[in-house]
Structure 1
Amino acid sequence: MLNNILVIDDDPAVRGAFKLILEEEGYCVHEAESGAQGLEMVAAQRPDLIFLDLRMPGLDGVETLRRLKNLDETLNVYIVTAFATEFMDQLKAAHEEGLTFELASKPLSASQIRNIAQIVHASKMQEAHRASHHKLVLTLYVVSLNKETRRLVEQISAILAGIYEPGHWVFDVVEVLGMPEKALEKEIFATPMLVRDIPKPVLKLLGDLSRMSSVMAAITTQSDSSGVQTIII
């Protein structure tokens, strides 16, 4: 379960907006007015999700990101900024260093803020599913569920039910209407194309889904004798 969210931003109005929106969804939201304070809070208690501003006095967002990842490289960090172009070279350098993060443009709507939290929650649920040793875990991210997408989702569910025993597979569909862009210039954070061995009927339908503009990504894990594999289409 996604419980703790940290908002690092020097603007109290921005922090207050995030807090109001997310607490209505049942999340526990903490606020930091600077990068230094955010680092202290993360060291005391690991948050499940961090919203991070870029332009701040003292430590800017990129340096704060670098120090956050030094504390825990698995932290989920969403950089939320209106100054991505100004910080583009620094962001690209951070990416080349291997620092993982997502990028969203200010201002974010309430639905976009909720959707980001929902995506991170779905990811944590997927990890929990893997820990339960399901043979197949499929998470499909769609912009919106339209008639055509629903039909293919039903077909995939039927095929999985025919291949795997009950309790050995999980199929989650996450609707992310209004999700902000996740890529920088030149798509350096674009979702990679990676395919491993999964049941051919499922792979065929995933291929059909990947050609739909309403589908963002399909992420699948499958356990075998060599461990868990990840498939991103």
Structure 2
Amino acid sequence: MSASILVVDDEEAILSSLSSILQDEGYEVATAKTGGEALKIFTMDPPDLMILDIWMPEMDGLETLRRVRELVPTAQVMMMSGHGSIETAVKAIKLGAYDYIEKPLSLENVTLRVKHALEQYRLEEENRSLRTKVQRKFELVGQSAAMQQLRQLIETAGPTNSRVLIGGENGTGKELVARAIHLQSARGDRPFVAVNCAAIPETLIESELFGHEKGSFSGATSMKRGQFEQADGGTLFLDEIGDMSLSTQAKVLRALQEQQFTRVGGTKLMKVDVRVLAASNKDLFKEIDKGAFREDLYYRLNVVPIEVPPLRERREDIPLLIRHFLRVHAEEQGLRMKEITPEAMHVFQQYEWPGNIRELRNLIERLMIMVPGSVIDTHQAAMSLQGRQPAGGAAASSIPASMPSANPVLSQTFDSLRDARNAFEKDYIGRKLREHHWNISRTAEDLKIERSHLHRKIKLLDVEMRPES
């Protein structure tokens, strides 16, 4: 689709010549003789680029630019003038203009600068789209009383520089809370560095946090900056802090107290400005009693305590979360978003979700891949929970006894998306073959693939062929 350009000038000759030039370059061009006309066009259908004359009667170009940017803050605008001055150009740029060109217009110059302006607009649109996707991925979803209280705590703690200790069960979204706190702070545009303390071997945790000098230990072939340095000016999130050894805890405590440290094998003091947020699914008071966690570090971290509620305590948020994950997975995998029936939603709301939001997200991803058709029904929802152990058996009691046998693929666990897709394809091709009484030609026609492609799939996926006698 070609880019759209709006040319605004009170001179008919300029409108005519610029329109012809730009249309020859393949752009869709609209014109306006006044700032008022331009504003009406922006209200109805904003173009990708506006070329705007400064000197016009009634409403001049600078005022038009100001109003356009109020309507569409991301509008890409090039100013042009035959009576320009440096002062006017500077004022236009300050008001948000991308470029400034002088009349008389040069054909080659105009087309080149239009190309650059549209390329810049495209890049900015891509950045905005990517930023929106990232923000959606880390969005805190839910309107329950528990979530509203959590958001209030985040809004209170975020703008401060205080350390926050986030508690909650596995899978409740403690990192999402940490990211939300970071974005609410004055450090929001600086680095957010997350470290899972439980996932790093004890022998490497100190090097991971504080970095190391070349040759400081076997395998240290070059200098490495640690996570404290990488988070300088921003936020460092220490997840599963309760799994950190006592010796590492002592070094973290010192780094928090002094805002400085030395790399492993080094002698130079490294000074940093880092806000530390920490999280744990363990009861740290019990860990302190057992001698596994330092009490002084606990109080250093626990300036502002935040507890993230488990999913079973905010069941009213489950429909919102499910629709959110359906949309996110559809976008990430290039799939069509599926619908979910009210009865299927009820099945999910009755389940206890011991794995919390992480379990729900993974299950929705599996259903997006495995369920044929555009609707997830009660049967598929119930079978996806089969074999799981909900507290109190709530989910099991919601499965109708009269329900026919389901696709067993839905209740399996896979190591990767590729394994899941292969399992679904194998099951789906097998069912289609049975429907067509093992006739390869009719099955291939139904699947809308070539016979040779179907033969390859049967061999590759090891689909069992059992022709009826």
Letter in 2 for 1:73: P
Q: CA deviation at 1:94?
A: 5.4
Aligned to 1:24: 24
1: CA distance between counterparts of 2:40 and 2:125? 28
Moved over 6 A (4+): none
Structure with the higher helix share, 1 or 2:
2
SS in 1 for 2:75: coil
Alignment partner of 1:4 is 2:4:
yes
Aligned to 2:66: 66
2: CA distance between counterparts of 1:110 and 1:7? 15
Identity of aligned residues (%): 29
Q: Which has the higher contact order (CA 8 A, sep 6+)?
A: 1
Aligned to 1:57: 57
Classify 1:101/1:122 alpha carbon distance in 2 versus 1 (closer, same or farther; 3 Å): closer
Letter in 2 for 1:60: D
Q: Name the count of aligned residue pairs.
A: 133
Q: CA deviation at 1:109?
A: 1.2
Match of 1:110 among 107, 113, 129: 107
Letter in 1 for 2:15: R
Letter in 1 for 2:117: V
Classify 1:128/1:31 alpha carbon distance in 2 versus 1 (closer, same or farther; 3 Å): closer
Runs of 5+ consecutive residues of structure 1 not aligned to the other structure: 134-223, 227-233
Determine which structure has more spread, i.e. the larger CA radius of gyration: 2
Letter in 1 for 2:96: L
Partners of 2:49 and 2:118 within 8 A in 1:
no
Partners of 1:2 and 1:121 within 8 A in 2:
no
Q: 1:51-95 CA deviation, whole Å, 9 max, x = no partner?
A: 10111110011111111111112111111101212xx55654555
2: CA distance between counterparts of 1:83 and 1:102? 16
Letter in 2 for 1:126: L
Instruction: Name the Cα RMSD after superposition.
Output: 2.7
Runs of 5+ consecutive residues of structure 2 not aligned to the other structure: 132-229, 235-469
Letter in 2 for 1:114: T
1: CA distance between counterparts of 2:14 and 2:107? 12
SS in 2 for 1:50: strand
SS in 2 for 1:79: strand
Classify 1:102/1:2 alpha carbon distance in 2 versus 1 (closer, same or farther; 3 Å): farther
Classify 1:26/1:95 alpha carbon distance in 2 versus 1 (closer, same or farther; 3 Å): closer
Letter in 1 for 2:27: Y
> Following superposition of structure 1 onto structure 2, how do residues 163-182 of structure 1 map, counting pairs within 5 Å?
none
Partners of 2:51 and 2:80 within 8 A in 1:
yes
Q: 1:115-160 CA deviation, whole Å, 9 max, x = no partner?
A: 1221023224434665679xxxxxxxxxxxxxxxxxxxxxxxxxxx
2: CA distance between counterparts of 1:81 and 1:54? 6
